Amino acid sequence: MQQIDQLCNGRFYHIYNQGINGCDLFSDPATYQHFMLLYDKYIYPIADTFAWVLMRNHFHLLVKIKENVVYKYSGFDSSKDADRCEDNKWETIDLLTSTNKRIDSVKMPSPQLHFSHFFNAYSRYFNKRFNRKGALFQRRFRRKIIGDESYFKNIVMYIHNNPVHHGFCEHPMEYPWSSYQSCISVKPTKLQRNQVIGWFDDLANFKLMHNGNPDIDGIEKWLDLD
C-alpha cells in the first residue's frame, strides 16, 4: 500500500484532498451538485467508483482505474467544432464490450490528466462563483493504492462514516453527500453497488457493519492526513 505519482490501469485507489488552509470546498447544495456533475464528465469515463463522500472542506473517493478504454472521439478540429469537441472529447469506449468497429482512433486516456482537469474545472467554477482567486485545494490530489482486498471494507466504512466522525450526523444514512444511500437503494446508479455489497457478503451485513465504529484514527494515520 504505497503512495505513487501515476495512476495505473486496473488498480484501486483511495483518492482524497482538502481545501487549502482548511478552507471550504463546498458551501451549499449547488456546489456539491456541480462537483458531482464534473465528476460524471471527467472521471466516470476512466474510473469505476465504489465509494465517495464530500465533506465541507475535504473529500474521499474509492475508485478503480478502468482498463481497455479508448477515446470515442479524437479527430475533432477544435478550431472548427469547439463546442462539439468539448462535449464529446472525454467520452470513452470499452474495447471489451464495444461492437462499434468505426472508432476514430485507439488513443488511450490519461487517468492522471482526467483528475487534474476535473479538479481544475471545479476550482474555476468555485472561484468564479464566489469571486475568489488562487488555489482552492491544499495540494495536488493525494492517492493511496490499495492492493489488499481485506482493506476494501474498511475504506468503504471509513468513507461513509466520515460525516459521523466529524459530527455532521449520527448515522451515514442521514448524510446526503456520500455513496451510502446509493448502496442501499435499488435505483439505477453508476456506482459499483453490487461489488461493494459483495465485499460485505450481503446488504444486511453491509448495514450492520456500518452501525459499528471503523478504525478512523488508524486509517487517517495510514493516509498521513494533516
| Distances 69 to 9, 49, 65, 185 between C-alpha atoms, Å | 10, 15, 10, 28
Range of the domain at 52: 12-68+107-223
* pLDDT per residue as tens digits for the range 81-91: 556 666 677 88
Any domain includes 90 = no
In a domain, 204, yes or no: yes
So what's the pLDDT on residue 6?
81
In a domain, 197, yes or no: yes
Closest by CA to 1, choosing from 198, 157, 145, 213, is: 145
The number of distinct structural domains making up the chain is 1
Is 99 among the domain residues?
A: no
pLDDT tens profile 136-191: 998 888 899 998 777 898 899 999 999 999 999 999 999 999 999 999 999 999 99
Distance of CA 199 to the CA centre of its chain: 19
Q: Where are the beta strands (DSSP E) in 66-130?
A: 69-71, 92-94
* Residues 6-38 as b or e (16 or more Cβ within 10 Å = b): ebeeebbbbbbbbbeeebebbeeeebbebbeeb
Name the most confidently modeled range: 90-104, 112-126, 130-144: 112-126
Q: Answer yes or no: is 58 within a domain.
A: yes
6 assigned to some structural domain: no
pLDDT of residue 92: 84
Determine what percent of the chain is predicted with pLDDT higher than 90.
65
Residue 59 in any domain: the answer is yes
Alpha-carbon distance 178 to 62, whole Å? 11
**pLDDT tens-digit profile of 21-63?**
999 999 999 999 999 999 999 999 999 999 999 999 999 999 9
Task: List, in order, residues 6 or more apart from 59 with CB less than 8 Å away.
Answer: 16, 17, 18, 25, 35, 52, 53
3 state SS of 75: coil
Residue 51 in any domain: the answer is yes
User: DSSP 3-state assignment of 178?
Assistant: strand
Question: Distances from the Cα of 93 to the Cαs of 66, 109, 117, 139, 193, in angstroms?
Answer: 11, 10, 19, 31, 21
pLDDT in tens, 168-179: 999 999 999 999
Residue 82 backbone class (left: φ over 0; alpha: ψ -120 to 50; beta: rest)? alpha
What span, in angstroms and rounded, lies between the C-alpha atoms of 61 and 41? 16
| The pLDDT value given to residue 109 | 87
CATH, residue 151: 3.30.70.1290
